[in-house]
Chain A
Amino acid sequence: MTAVNTATVVPPVRRRAAGKPLLPPLVARLLFLVFAIGFWEVASRYGWINAFTAPAPSAIWSGFIQIIVAGELGAAFVRTFLEALAASAIGAIGGIAIGWWLHSSKKIGLAYTSWVAAAASAPLVLLYPLFLVIFGRNSSTIVAMGALGCMPPIILKAKDGLDGVRPVLLNVGRAFSLTPRQQFTMIQFPAALPVIFTGIRIGLLFAIINVVGVEFLIAFGGLGELISDLGDRFDYPAMYAAIFFVVLVSIAFFYLTEKLEIWLLSSK
């Protein structure tokens, strides 16, 4: 094999001299969690905090079991999941299309990219009453709000990604006489994908936030409605359980997509 491997000598990384901590961060983090939950339990049992408005973790756990057994949580989760999926599918397709449009002409990009950037930082979710008027109190409003929330970051990242495709790769395609369609599917899109994925990931988070938020506000749909209903029923343990469930699901989702993104970027 004629491969020439240039072995580079890496100087040893200098670590900040510091006393070694007692516990690894992960263990310390878990211990802190256990301690906090334990303290909450004790505080609630001994009446240091109001056990009705802030039920003990054990009560919340039984509330959790209760809404699982009743089938409420599962149904709500599926519904929210499907709505978020529909919203992000619409948002991703629309976002990539608009990103492509902004990329396709320099002038159009210059004229409208800043508008999209403004929309990305504007509180678009506040527009939901308008959508409520247009679509009525049903899933369309929720999906529309989710799609609206996730589109701006996807548009911006799709444009960035397509702008960043190296010209030589496009030239390779031209040299092999690719059709414009092949040029997009075989070169531009895969080359821009890592960047577009970042946009889709942020977009999905925004979609979830908007979907759950609007569900909660209009008390219709999946997990958001469940939280709202349980609150109205004064079933606080179950309500806390549903809230923690939403938080855990978004954390799990965020964590997984974060790992996926790192993997995508590193393997290129």
Chain B
Amino acid sequence: MTDVTSIATDTKTPALRIRDVAKTFSTPHGDVVALKPVSIDIKQGEFIAIIGPSGCGKSTLMNAVGGLLEDYEGTVEVDGKVVRGCHQEIGMVFQEESTFPWRTALDNVAFPLEAAGVGKEERHAKAMELLNLVGLDGFENRFPAELSGGMRQRIAIARTLAFKPRILLMDEPFAALDEQTRLLLGDKVLQIQQELNQTTMLITHNIAEAVQLADRVLIMTFRPGTIKRVVDIDLPRPRSSKMMGGERFGHFVATIWEDLREEASKGLLELEQVRST
């Protein structure tokens, strides 16, 4: 893995800079502000988590940064350069099942390399390396349907790593998994992220997950979404799910919940109003 860790580190300009990114959707019933201007600077190798109630525009933000959404206000910079649209330096992991059911684990991971025209042998060698990295060696010839949800999500992560993107965006990557798998996979992601020194942005609605993984947790408000508060998680590294019982851990969870509670209640209230009408 030596070539992987040798990503240039520039301490001055942030690896990822989000400047006043905002989005308003126009619908037949008028305009809906999904995201009020959001600005975040993320250092090289930093792991941030964005947490917020449903409907706070987390996914909109993620799509804007990842390039799936191109029509937004503000700018996204990678190493000081403005990017818009999908970019090889930014990898995305999705919440939904996103492995290709007709490809084996190996071919799933090799998918982006194949699209980029990398020869068969080279891409298979690279894909094997990545499967090893996520701990799926021995499963390369299985189809997704033969593997568990956690294993499939690890394939998706390995696939995202194919081009060794400097920046990794993860949109609730563990949402579809059960609690234990989620914790173990979280440890795995942390380990890989440390190994590759990747700048990572995780979107989640699970507080413990955010505390377990992130250096900073950004709490978002309910619609229209924007950043309400930033909590620095100064728990020591390397971290693991074993820390969950700790006093500091509990303190962070409680702090975040205090802020989040208010926003989540707003969301719930709105939902109930919609239901009752």
Instruction: Find out whether A and B make contact in their complex, taking CB atoms under 8 A apart as touching.
Output: yes
What CA separation (Å) do A175 and B170 show in the bound complex?
12
What CA separation (Å) do A1 and B135 show in the bound complex?
8
Identify which of residues 60-76 in chain B touch chain A, using a CB-to-CB cut-off of 8 Å.
Answer: 66-68
Provide the residues of chain A in CB contact with B160, threshold 8 Å.
Answer: 175
CB of A172 closer than 8 Å to a CB of B: yes
CB of B143 closer than 8 Å to a CB of A: yes
CB of A20 closer than 8 Å to a CB of B: no
Given A190-B100, A268-B143; A4-B148 close (CB under 8 Å) = yes
What CA separation (Å) do A37 and B66 show in the bound complex?
70
Provide the residues of chain A in CB contact with B112, threshold 8 Å.
Answer: 176
What CA separation (Å) do A4 and B178 show in the bound complex?
9
CB of B98 closer than 8 Å to a CB of A: yes
Q: Which of B101, B115, B135 contacts A186 (CB 8 A)?
A: B115
Q: Which of A2, A186, A268 contacts B111 (CB 8 A)?
A: A186
- The smallest C-beta distance from B114 to any residue of chain A, in angstroms, reads 7
CB of A191 closer than 8 Å to a CB of B: yes
- Considering only CB atoms, which chain B residue lies closest to A178 in the complex? B115
What CA separation (Å) do A172 and B159 show in the bound complex?
10
Identify which of residues 126-181 in chain B touch chain A, using a CB-to-CB cut-off of 8 Å.
Answer: 135, 143, 145, 147-148, 150-151, 159-160, 178, 180-181
- The smallest C-beta distance from A124 to any residue of chain B, in angstroms, reads 33
Q: Which of B100, B147, B188 contacts A169 (CB 8 A)?
A: B100
Verify B148–A168 contact, CB threshold 8 A.
no
Verify A193–B111 contact, CB threshold 8 A.
no
CB of B91 closer than 8 Å to a CB of A: yes
> Size band of the A side of the interface?
20 to 34
Verify A174–B102 contact, CB threshold 8 A.
no
What CA separation (Å) do A180 and B168 show in the bound complex?
24
CB of A121 closer than 8 Å to a CB of B: no
Provide the residues of chain B in CB contact with A191, threshold 8 Å.
Answer: 100-102
- Considering only CB atoms, which chain B residue lies closest to A175 in the complex? B92
Provide the residues of chain A in CB contact with B257, threshold 8 Å.
Answer: none
CB of A6 closer than 8 Å to a CB of B: yes
Provide the residues of chain A in CB contact with B234, threshold 8 Å.
Answer: none
CB of B86 closer than 8 Å to a CB of A: yes
CB of B249 closer than 8 Å to a CB of A: no
CB of A267 closer than 8 Å to a CB of B: yes
- Considering only CB atoms, which chain B residue lies closest to A5 in the complex? B148
CB of A177 closer than 8 Å to a CB of B: yes
What CA separation (Å) do A174 and B94 show in the bound complex?
12
What CA separation (Å) do A268 and B100 show in the bound complex?
9
Interface string of B36-69 (1 = CB under 8 A from A): 0000000000000000000000000000001110
CB of A256 closer than 8 Å to a CB of B: no
CB of B24 closer than 8 Å to a CB of A: no
- The smallest C-beta distance from B5 to any residue of chain A, in angstroms, reads 23
What CA separation (Å) do A166 and B96 show in the bound complex?
9
- Considering only CB atoms, which chain B residue lies closest to A2 in the complex? B184
CB of A3 closer than 8 Å to a CB of B: yes
CB of A138 closer than 8 Å to a CB of B: no
CB of A182 closer than 8 Å to a CB of B: yes
CB of A89 closer than 8 Å to a CB of B: no
CB of B97 closer than 8 Å to a CB of A: yes
CB of B9 closer than 8 Å to a CB of A: no
CB of A76 closer than 8 Å to a CB of B: no
Verify A174–B68 contact, CB threshold 8 A.
yes
CB of A171 closer than 8 Å to a CB of B: yes
CB of A187 closer than 8 Å to a CB of B: yes
Verify A176–B115 contact, CB threshold 8 A.
yes
Interface string of B20-31 (1 = CB under 8 A from A): 000000000000
- The smallest C-beta distance from B115 to any residue of chain A, in angstroms, reads 5
Verify B111–A168 contact, CB threshold 8 A.
no
- The smallest C-beta distance from B180 to any residue of chain A, in angstroms, reads 6
- The smallest C-beta distance from B15 to any residue of chain A, in angstroms, reads 18
Given A3-B151, A4-B184; A176-B111 close (CB under 8 Å) = yes
Interface string of B92-127 (1 = CB under 8 A from A): 101111101110000000011011100000000000
Given A6-B178, A268-B101, A268-B143; A172-B94 close (CB under 8 Å) = yes
Interface string of A1-35 (1 = CB under 8 A from B): 11111100000000000000000000000000000
Verify B148–A3 contact, CB threshold 8 A.
yes
CB of B265 closer than 8 Å to a CB of A: no
- Considering only CB atoms, which chain B residue lies closest to A190 in the complex? B102
- The smallest C-beta distance from A236 to any residue of chain B, in angstroms, reads 50
A-B contact list, 23 entries, CB within 8 Å = A3-B148, A4-B180, A166-B97, A168-B94, A168-B96, A169-B100, A171-B68, A171-B94, A172-B92, A172-B98, A174-B68, A174-B86, A175-B67, A175-B91, A176-B112, A176-B116, A177-B87, A177-B88, A187-B100, A190-B102, A191-B100, A191-B102, A268-B102
Shortest 5 CB-CB contacts between residues of A and residues of B:
A168-B96, A268-B101, A176-B112, A175-B92, A4-B181
Knowing that A175-B66, A176-B111, A176-B112 are A-B contacts, what are 11 other residue pairs whose CB atoms are under 8 Å apart, sorted by A's residue number? A2-B188, A4-B150, A166-B97, A169-B98, A169-B100, A171-B92, A176-B86, A176-B115, A176-B116, A186-B115, A193-B102
